[in-house]
Amino acid sequence: MKKPLLVIVLLVVSFWYADGVTALTVFSPIVEITAAPGEAPRGIVKVFNESDQPVELRSVIEQFTTDDQSGSPRFIALTESNSFLKWFNLDQDELVLLPRQVAVIPFTVSVPPNATPGGYFAAIFWEIVPAAGSGDVSISGRVGTLVFLEVSGEVVRQGVLESFTRTPSNAIVSGFPVSFSVLFNNTGTIHLKPSGSIIITNSFGQSETLSVNPDARNVLPDSSRRFDVVWGQPAATGNILERFWQGVRGELSSFRLGQYTVTVTLYGDVSKAMPMTATQTFWFVPVYLSSIAGGFMLCALFLMARRRNKKRKNVLHAPSGK
């Protein structure tokens, strides 16, 4: 039997809570565990009491999922539908942390032999219990670690590129920044880390490359996640005149003009499986430089018209010969 694989990835360092008196931090990053049915891998969480007062903690384990395209977690307490939470057992369910103390709490995930292969997602929370005699019966805060468990076997790794959009969406873009949004839908049974690139090519064949999901963020099964990629510097700040000249300098330092073709290539996982592509085109016209050029053209037309009118007047007032 293969030894259970425990992979710790530095996606999110911690969740933290502070109420002005007590501050609690989880040092554990997001944890990813892979185990076969019947195995019992081990992991750890680290909790730090930042305050100058002792705190009493108790553990709570909940399922997490997501309801929106940002990937923000939503937590669900133990029910019959998520009984896999019972697989998670901490060596300590309660503890007291002294001021500035760090506690390392091991935990075990006991995967049943008949477990269905796929992804299981749990959050290990530590709740701050109010001190006895304080009169406060509510929980004053909690911190947690997200655990991504993969039960190996016949898992389905698949997904689709739902959409590739751009803001602004006009056919003619007149300035930066331009934001590209890649929406990926995980239609499989295991969490995926889609990755890829956006290549922006002008009419002369010159190109720029932007990374999609460089932080290797997860997409849960049966959910969609949006990855935003920004091209160009943010808009200028200050008063109207300051914004104008900042925009002129920015357009001169990175001059862009003409038709652009944008192609996204997305892979469903870090293994470069499931390649997906989408393409769009637009025209880029630098607004600040165009306004200056337009101003010069108006001045030139005005001077030409004035000169023509002057010549016409001279002709009309010229003495006629006999």
CA distances to 60, 61, 211, 239, 306 from 89, rounded to whole Å, are: 10, 9, 39, 59, 88
**What is residue 300's predicted lDDT score, i.e. its pLDDT?**
65
DSSP per residue, 123-178: EEEEEEEPPTTSS--S---EEEEEEEEEE-SS----EEEEEEEEES--SEE-SS-E
Identity of the residue numbered 21: V
DSSP assignment of 202-233 equals: ETTS-EEEEEESTT---B-TTEEEEEEEEESP
pLDDT at 138: 47
Q: What is the pLDDT of residues 96-122, one digit of tens each?
A: 999 999 999 999 999 999 999 999 999
Q: What's the pLDDT score for residue 190?
A: 96
- Alpha-carbon distance of 172 to 179, in angstroms, equals 14
For residue 83, CA distances in Å to 22, 44, 304 come to 33, 21, 83
Check residue 265 and give its pLDDT: 96
Q: Which residues contact 93 (CB under 8 A, 6 or more apart)?
A: 58, 59
Reference 291, options 258, 242, 259, 244; nearest CA is: 244
**What residue ranges define each of the domains in the chain, with the CATH number in brackets?**
5-151 (2.60.40.10), 159-285 (2.60.40.3880)
pLDDT at position 200: 96
Residues in the chain: 322
User: What is the per-residue pLDDT across 141-150, written as a single tens digit (0 to 9) for each?
Assistant: 788 999 999 9
Measured CA distances, 236 to 175, 226, 241, 245, 309 (Å): 10, 26, 10, 9, 42
Crossing angle of the two packed helices 240-253 and 287-317, in degrees rounded to 10? 100
pLDDT per position in the chain (322 positions), as tens?
444 433 333 233 334 333 334 577 877 778 999 999 999 999 999 999 988 889 999 999 999 999 899 999 999 999 999 999 999 999 999 999 999 999 999 999 999 999 999 999 999 999 988 766 554 444 457 889 999 999 999 999 999 999 999 999 999 888 788 999 999 999 999 999 999 999 999 988 999 999 999 999 999 999 999 999 999 876 666 666 656 656 656 655 566 778 999 999 999 887 787 899 999 999 988 765 555 655 666 676 766 777 777 766 666 555 655 5
Give the pLDDT of residue 318.
58
pLDDT, residue 270, reads 73
